[in-house]
Every structure is written in C-alpha cells, then in structure tokens.
Amino acid sequence: MKRRFLALSMGMLLIASVSIAQDDQVIANIIKEANENSQLENLAHELMDVVGPRLVGTPQMKNANDWAVNKYAGWDISAENEQWGEWRGWERGITHVDMVSPRIVSLNAMQLAWSPNGPKKGIKNADVVGFPTFANKQAYTDWLGTIKGKVVMVSMPQPTGRPDYNWDKFGTEESIAKIKKDRNELSTAWNKNISVSGFNSRTIVAEIEKAGAAAIFSSRWSRGFGANKIFSAGTESIPNIDISLEDYAMLYRMFQHGNSAKVNVVSESKELGNVPVFNTIATIQGSEKPNEYVMLSAHFDSWDGGTGATDNGTGSILMMEVMRILKKHYPNPKRTIIVGHWGSEEQGLNGSRAFVEDHPEIVDNIQVLFNQDNGTGRAVNLSGQGFLNSYEYLGRWMAKVPRKISSQIETNFPGTPGGGGSDYASFVAAGAPAFSLSSLSWDYGTYTWHTNLDTYDKIVFDDVRSNVVLAAILAYMASEDPETTSRERSVLPLSRRTGDQMTWPTQRSPNRKGGQN
C-alpha cells in the first residue's frame, strides 16, 4: 500500500513538474515573440493610417472589419464578420473653410460626424455671426430674423487656449486666479444669455437651422493645446463644423468688435442609407474543453476626428497581436479562445451587448474575459468587478506575469461591477467574469479621447507591448487552468452617492437600428 501511494505521489509530482515546465516554456515564448517579433507598428499603420477612423455606419468601419478578417486568415486563425444590426450610413468628405475678409486665411476646421452635406458649389462670402446679448425673448426672436444665409457660431469662445497645467506652471497666483474667474464668469453669462431664448446650447441649434442659417460653427475644446472633441452634428440639413479654439476665438472677437468676418465653406459628405454593421469575431478552437471560452475584447469603432488610435486602435491591435502570438506558440489551447472586435461601443456598447444577447451559449460558459479600451498606456489597474473569488484565480494567473509588468498594476478585490464605460460591462451585467485592463493615462482624457489629436503618433508602443505580454499570459493561464472560474457575486456596498444598497447592473439590449433620421 505504501509503495503504491509513493508511486502515485511521484507520478503526480512528475505530471506537475511537466506542467510547470510547459507553462514556463510557453510563457517564455510569448515574451520573446512579443518583444522580438512584434507586429504592432505594422498593424497600427495599416489600421490607423490606411483604413483610418472607424465611425459606425461608414465604409471605413466595414473596411476595418474586412481588414481584420484578412489579417487573421494570414495567421491561420478563423474569423468572420457577424452582423448585429443596421446604422445610418455616412461618409466624410472634404471640409475646407477660408476666411476671406477682413483678410485671407485657411481655418482649422472639420465637419462633425454625420453632418449634412453642404451646397454643391459651397458657401461663398458668408457673414459669420455670434450671439448678441438678448435683453428678452423678443430680442432673440428679432435676431433669428437676421441670420438667414449667415454662418452662426454657437459655442462659447474660450478666453485662453492654454490648459490649466500650463497656467499652473508659469502663471502668477493672481493671473491663475483671474483666468479661472474670467472663464467661470463668461460661462455663467453665456448660459444665462442663451436661456433667454427658452433653449439651451444644444437645442438652440435646431432653431438656428430652422431660421435659415447657412451653416453652424462650433468649438468644443478638450482643455489641451490644439485638442477639440469631435462628436456628432446637431443639424439635419446644413453643415455643422467644428473650428479649432484659436480660429474660433478669432472669429468671435471679430464679431464682438464689429470687424465682420466673411468665409467660404466647402463641407462634403455622403448619406448612404441604412447599412449593415458588424462585430469581427476570431476563434482558436479549444482541444479539451471547446465549449468553454477565454475571451479577449476591444471595441473596433471610433469617433472620426482623428484616426481612433488610442480609442480604441491600441486595444484592437493589442488583442490581434495576442491572438497571433497564441496561435503561433499555443496553437491547441485547452479552452476555445475568442476575440471580439466590437462595433458601436461609442454609441452605447451596442456591438458587445448584441453578442451577449445573441450568444448565451458562449456567455454562460466564459472562463474569463479581458477587455482593453482606455488608451495607449500600460495596464495599471485591475478590479475584481464584484466577483467574490476573482482574487483567487486572477492572482494565480498574475503570478506568471513578469514582475516588471505585474508590479505596476494596482488591484481592487472583489471591487464593484462596472455598469458601463466599455464592453466588459456588457458581459459583467450577464454574470460573466469580465475584467478591464485599465491603462495609464498619458493625458488620454484631454488629448486623445474623442479628439482631433487621436492619431498614430500618440501611440506608446512599449506600453502596448507590455499589455500584449500581460494579456497573452493571462489568456494562456486561463485556458490551461484545470478549475472553472467562480461566478459568485459579492455583497455590494452602500452607494457613496445615494447611501442605498448597490445592485448588480442589469443586462441591456443594444440599439440595433441607430443614427437614422
């Protein structure tokens, strides 16, 4: 009996040793491949420079879907575009704005997403006007009668184009206090003046369009040098164009000082009707537990002020690179490994919500999902998303990640479930253990999140490579783990905001027919 027990014990030790050796070799191969044969720069060039921005419903978004399927095919990975809905089809054309009086200068301008097409011959020699001070509602009504054929500026002109950190670095205490006071007072006065009309800064745009304005100029500063947020147009029949802070402020000063500016405007776009929209799904089939799933996740769509480099081009190429490396060095995973490149995250997690709704057989059997979204930085935060035992399995897998990567990651267990913000939340709401690899900022919120500056040059490839190693090792360890992850939920704390007991987020249906007039 003792001899049998001893033999069994030695056999188990031998199996464990072989398993550890295999883990160490695969992980070593992952690290070497990621650092010595990285494809990130080429993927970034092809996606950001060649395909470009990926606004839902545009031909560029479909080009990105097809490009990804072809890249996966080149790595011998099965991939397909899965339709989840329809969206308003639209394609950006040329935007060109010249001030032609009192002097000639080309302005830094960009039509907003889904902006209507301008006149075929352009807008010529149009007066540019802002809001006068409205003494009462009648004064506003009288002003509306004067703007037909004119270009109307609808955003508050900023008193400074220097971000706060620049003032804090170089300004005196008095100048810093004054600029903040001036900005606050200007904002209060601006909103009060618009309120006289009975509308707000958003709803007044439709009234101006109805009154016959030729175009709308707006400027949504992102509190950084040269950075403007580029979202969707608020008009239905006339161009809605974003103007850079410095050019917009100049135009507004001319209006205020009576030096009337005139502009020529070319603003081209195409309406393409309702078009199908897709998620791109790639799969490496599992060998032992093919009906259990390790998922990688990143939204593929972007706004289109820049090229969507850090939101979420970096997350997209990160997950593609992880799949390439796993296919090369771990071609027969125990569990099936799936990557989801989601559409229309920016309009409300629509692509991932559709996948969750359409594929309960996968969602119910997810071992783990890792999502990356918020910028180009190396991962620095990992929350347990409210799953009670997440520390046990995530901690076990993280132990295999190189110390120079894992030591920079702050953890929060069990944490609280994310209700939105990025696509992992779609899966958390369905009870699947899904986690965000949350990144170091690199001034993401100011300079690249939804701005005109979200371009290839902002990518920090060393940080993205670090995230490739992290995500690939975690996916490998999750696939190999003999145990199935626990979905047990923690008792959520009281809300700091309301004082009430927090509840688990509710699974929500996607908008499958969006952006249509």
Tell me the pLDDT tens digit for each residue of 264-310.
Answer: 999 999 999 999 999 999 999 999 999 999 999 999 999 999 999 99
- For 200-250, the DSSP string reads -TTTHHHHHHHTT-SEEEE--EEEETTEEB--B---SSS-EEEE-HHHHHH
Give the mean model confidence (pLDDT) for residues 402-419.
Answer: 97
Is the confidence at residue 139, as pLDDT, over 90? yes
292 and 252 in a single domain? The answer is: no
pLDDT of residue 18: 60
- Examine the domain organization and report whether 345 and 217 are in the same domain: no
Q: Which residues pair with 86 in a beta bridge?
A: 276, 513
| Domain limit, last residue, from 260, 289, 309 | 260
pLDDT per residue as tens digits for the range 348-386: 999 999 999 999 999 999 999 999 999 999 999 999 999
Question: Which residues fall within 8 angstroms of residue 37, CB to CB, at 6 or more apart?
Answer: none
Query: Do residue 162 and residue 289 come from a single domain?
Result: no
pLDDT class for 496, splitting at 50, 70, 90? confident
Is residue 360 situated within a structural domain?
A: yes
- Specify the pLDDT at position 2: 47
pLDDT at res. 247 = 98
Residue 85 lies in a domain: yes
Q: What is the pLDDT of residue 8?
A: 46
pLDDT in tens, 166-218: 999 999 999 999 999 999 999 999 999 999 999 999 999 999 999 999 999 99
Looking at per-residue confidence, does 432 or 1 come out higher?
A: 432
Instruction: Report yes or no: 344 and 514 within 8 Å, Cβ to Cβ.
Output: yes
Mean pLDDT of 65-72: 99
CATH of the domain at 208: 3.50.30
DSSP 8-state code for residue 303: -
Residues 229 and 311 in one domain: no
Predicted confidence at residue 4, as pLDDT, reads: 52
* pLDDT bracket for residue 22 (50, 70, 90): confident
**pTM of this prediction?**
0.94
Q: State residue 175's pLDDT score.
A: 98
Q: CA separation (Å) from 451 to 45, 227, 309, 408, 414?
A: 19, 6, 10, 28, 34
Say yes or no: 343 and 484 in one domain.
yes
501 three-class SS: strand
Q: How confident is the model at residue 497 (pLDDT cuts 50, 70, 90)?
A: confident
pLDDT of 15:
52
Mean pLDDT of the chain: 96
Same domain for 382 and 502, yes or no, is: yes
Comparison of pLDDT for 11 and 322, the residue scoring more? 322
pLDDT of residue 21: 81
Query: Do 204 and 252 have their domain in common?
Result: yes
Give percent of the chain above pLDDT 90.
Answer: 93
The domain boundary, picked from 200, 226, 260, lies at 260
The number of residues making up the chain comes to 517
> How many domains, in total, are found in the chain?
2
139 and 82 assigned to the same domain: no
